[in-house]
């Protein structure tokens, strides 16, 4: 219970940064006129890196509930950016693919992301960024463990990749 009334405590700063990052991303996406919400954009890019996966896998990778993903997919599908194909190996499951017309959009989103992050990380060296990324992945792994069993954090397992 180390006394720490610091408004710049790690948790605060982390949440601040995330909120602002999201809102900055949102503004960029809106300005770019892509017709997607940030969540949809994020989902689409994620899918592009996991082409042909099942919804559950994608949801797990994104750290959201399957139902939440399903809603995004409905939108993306109705816009024609993704397809749900039946999994030949399991008729319950569906495999998610991006459509050809999504290509340019995905590239745009990535550009927005990268440009934003370049602005935001300006003044920090590449090695430090790499280090920070690794630490954050560790946090993420700890948080995943927390979500699963509600208690014990990861101790030795590496953050993966």
Contact residues for DNA (CB under 7 A)? 19, 23, 26, 37-40, 54-56, 63-68, 70-71, 73-74, 84, 87, 90-94
Are 59 and 10 within 8 A, CB to CB? no
Cα distance between residue 83 and residue 49, in whole Å: 15
Smallest gap from residue 134 Cβ to DNA (A):
22
Torsions phi, psi for 68 (to 5 deg): -60, -45
Burial class of 84 by CB neighbour count within 10 A (0 to 12, 13 to 18, 19+): middle
Burial class of 96 by CB neighbour count within 10 A (0 to 12, 13 to 18, 19+): buried
User: Restricting to residues 16-55, which ones interact with a copy of itself according to CB under 8 A?
Assistant: 16-25, 42, 46, 48-50
Smallest gap from residue 1 Cβ to a copy of itself (A):
6
Contact with a copy of itself (CB under 8 A) among 8, 127, 148, 149: 8
Select the binding partner of residue 56 from DNA, a copy of itself, none (C-beta < 5 to 8 A, by kind).
Answer: DNA
Contact with a copy of itself (CB under 8 A) among 70, 85, 90, 135: 135
How is the beta sheet containing 53-54 ordered, strand by strand?
Answer: 53-54, 90-98, 82-87
Token pair 């792994």 in the structure block, residue: 141
Give the total of residues touching a copy of itself (CB under 8 A): 67
Residues that bind a copy of itself (CB under 8 A): 1-2, 4-25, 42, 46, 48-50, 61-64, 110-111, 113-117, 119-124, 128-129, 131-133, 135-140, 142-144, 146-147, 153-156, 161
């Amino acid at each position: 219970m180390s006394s720490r009334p610091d408004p710049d405590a790690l948790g605060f700063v982390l949440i601040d940064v995330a909120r602002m990052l999201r809102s900055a991303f949102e503004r960029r996406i809106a300005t770019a006129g892509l017709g997607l919400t940030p969540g949809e954009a994020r989902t689409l890019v994620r899918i592009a890196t996991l082409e042909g996966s099942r919804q559950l896998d994608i949801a797990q990778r994104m750290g959201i509930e399957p139902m939440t993903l399903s809603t995004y997919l409905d939108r993306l599908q109705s816009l024609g950016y993704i397809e749900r194909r039946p999994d030949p190996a399991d008729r319950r499951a569906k495999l998610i693919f991006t459509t050809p017309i999504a290509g340019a959009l995905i590239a745009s989103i990535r550009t927005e992301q990268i440009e934003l992050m370049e602005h935001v990380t300006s003044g920090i060296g590449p090695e430090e960024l790499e280090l920070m990324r690794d630490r954050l992945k560790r946090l993420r792994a700890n948080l995943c463990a927390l979500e699963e069993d509600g208690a014990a954090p990861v101790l030795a397992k590496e953050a993966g990749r």
